[in-house]
Amino acid sequence: MRFSRFITAFAFCLLPASLLAQTSTYLGFDRNNYPGDANLKTLHQTFAYAGYWLNNPPGEKTNTWAGRRAAVESAGFGFLVLFNGRLDAQLKTVARATRLGQSDAQAAASAAHREGFPAKTIIFLDQEQGGRMLPEQKAYIYAWVDGITAAGFRAGIYCSGIPAADDGNVVTAEDIRQSAGTRSIVYWAINDACPPAPGCEFSQHPSNPEQSGVQMAEVWQFAQSPQRKDVAGRCTNYSPDGNCDVPGISPPLYVDLNTANSGDPSHGRTR
């Protein structure tokens, strides 16, 4: 997942050590392309859950995750269920954005049913653009959230947790939350600036998602592949080609890294 509008400033929210000690966290990964059945066992030695796309990931013409839910669950993984949303250039007007949000929610719900995800699974809308959301972007997001909720699932959003220095230091996650009204939305924040991010680190006790700088975040993506030099240039432990490669897998398999408060953040397991 990538942002076309991103700024390098960041916020760092520290929780008391006593509270952090009481909170279990779980390491997970996401990537646009399915890693292959043969790698699932090794991946599960490091990760508790996996990102799972319901439609074509950003920049891809196909979705290689389709039809793989049973294999991923059988390997022991929980899920981060993802639906790739629209860029602002596709939305144009509030009316068009609302229609697209409604139709995309139907498509996401249909794909989730087809893949066998249970009711109340949290489906995260992938919001690739950061900064203050424009009126048509908010219209799309909220129409999508309403449609997902009406279909019997729960709505989440993957979005920036980095203050946009060229846009009044607005944090996208906070901007979306402040205009959401009574809607229930689960937040997956991206902040790969170091600090607060630890870099390409495969800890079995990763930081709490609130340390992303977004206090209501339940998931935090803290490392991306490839490393974004403009944002994560101070981060360490990336491979020479700039990717975050999984230990124990050859040829190298790169991933994005996440920490969550649950080993199944989307509650997508059926057993």
Query: What digits encode the pLDDT tens for the residues 46-76?
Result: 999 999 999 999 999 999 999 999 999 999 9
CA–CA separation, 111 and 65 (whole Å): 11
Q: How many C-alpha atoms does 223 have within 13 Å on its Cβ side?
A: 28
In the predicted model, is pLDDT for residue 111 greater than 80? Answer: yes
Task: Return d(Cα 111, Cα 120) in angstroms, integer.
Answer: 14
- Is 70 within the bounds of a domain? yes
What's 188's domain CATH number? 3.20.20.80
Tell me how far apart the alpha carbons of residues 203 and 58 are, in angstroms, rounded to a whole number: 27
Tokens of 116: 């066998």
Q: What is the rounded CA–CA span in Å between residue 14 and residue 138?
A: 29
135-176 pLDDT tens trace? 999 999 999 999 999 999 999 999 999 999 887 899 999 999
Smallest CA-to-CA distance from 193 within 30, 14, 3, 8 is with 8
Main-chain phi, psi angles of 245, to 5 degrees: -90, 140
Kindly state whether residue 8 falls inside one of the protein's structural domains.
no
Residue-wise pLDDT for 77-100, tens only, equals 999 999 999 999 999 999 999 999
Q: Round to whole Å and give the CA distance between 265 and 271.
A: 14
**Residue 1: pLDDT band by 50, 70, 90 thresholds?**
low
pLDDT of 4:
44
Residue 12 belongs to a domain: no
Q: Tell me which residue of 45, 42, 48, 52 sits closest to 28, measured CA to CA.
A: 48
Q: Are 32 and 59 in contact (CB under 8 A)?
A: yes
pLDDT confidence of 15, banded at 50, 70, 90? very low
215, part of any domain: yes
Q: Which structural domain range is residue 30 located in?
A: 17-260
Q: Is 141 helix (H, G, I), strand (E, B) or coil?
A: helix
Look over the chain and give the mean of its residue pLDDT values, rounded to a whole number: 92
Whether residue 153 lies inside any domain: the answer is yes
Cβ atoms of residues 101 and 141 within 8 Å: yes
**SS3 state of residue 87:** coil
pLDDT at 271: 86
How many structural domains does the chain have? 1
What pLDDT does 113 receive? Answer: 98
Token couple for 68: 């793989």
- Is the overall model pTM greater than 0.95, yes or no? no
Model confidence at 16: pLDDT above 60: no
Task: Give the distance, in angstroms, between the CA of residue 222 and the centroid of all CA atoms in the same chain.
Answer: 10
pLDDT of residue 2: 54
Identify whether 50 is part of a domain: yes
Neighbouring CB atoms inside 10 A of 104's CB total 21
- Asked if the structure places residue 121 within a domain, the reply is yes
**Which tokens sit at 99?**
């229609």
C-alpha Rg value of the chain to the nearest Å: 17
pLDDT digits (tens, 9 = 90+) for 195-253: 999 999 999 999 999 999 999 999 999 999 999 999 999 999 999 999 999 999 999 99
Cα torsion for 36, 41, 42, 45, to the nearest 10°?
Answer: 140
Residue 97, SS3 per DSSP: helix
What local confidence, expressed as pLDDT, does residue 42 receive?
Answer: 96
Tell me the average pLDDT across 31-43: 97
Is residue 5 a part of any domain in this protein? no
- pLDDT for 268 equals 98
pLDDT at residue 166, rounded to an integer: 81
Tell me whether strands 78-84 and 256-260 are parallel, antiparallel or unpaired: unpaired
